[in-house]
Amino acid sequence: MTRVHRAVTTPSRQHLDTEQRWHGEDRGVIAAWERGRQKSSEDPELAARAKAGELIILPWKGGVEKALKSGQKYGTHRYLAMWQGLRGDDLDVDLSNEAQLQCTVTGVMVIYTSDVAKYAGKDA
């Protein structure tokens, strides 16, 4: 499985153990997206910021607090999935490719990747 896609109308999965939820073929992106959908109803203001293109701080690396000298950083596919869920978007993450988004508030370009070495740095 390289591309993970789910329609926003798909019900959240129930009764999965930690191994199934986070370490399966989808590498936890479905679980992150499902949590983003939950968080959207818990915090509508945060969801509105995400819908406006802000790459807000979430539990996964990939959010942006302030502008960076480099103008870019790396983040995880789990962040991208949670952000999509928070916005109310369909899940659409290709685990074999990098995706890019630019924060509408800071202008920082974030590159979402599965390569841990890229996002494990100090600015990630």
Q: Is residue 109 part of a domain?
A: yes
Give the chain's domain count.
Answer: 1
Give CA 31 to chain center in angstroms.
11
Residue 123 has pLDDT above 60, yes or no: no
Q: Is residue 124 part of a domain?
A: no
Find tokens 């790459």 and name the residue: 55
Q: Is residue 59 part of a domain?
A: yes
Q: Is residue 29 part of a domain?
A: yes
**Residue 74, exposed/middle/buried by CB under 10 A (0-12, 13-18, 19+)?**
buried
Report yes or no: 122 and 70 within 8 Å, Cβ to Cβ: no
| DSSP assignment letter at 12 | P
Report yes or no: 21 and 108 within 8 Å, Cβ to Cβ: no
**Predicted local confidence at residue 1, as pLDDT:** 67
pTM of the model: 0.93
Band (88; pLDDT cuts 50, 70, 90) = very high
The residue segments making up the domain with residue 48 are: 3-119
Band (122; pLDDT cuts 50, 70, 90) = low
16-71 pLDDT per residue, tens: 999 999 999 999 999 999 999 999 999 999 999 999 999 999 999 999 999 999 99
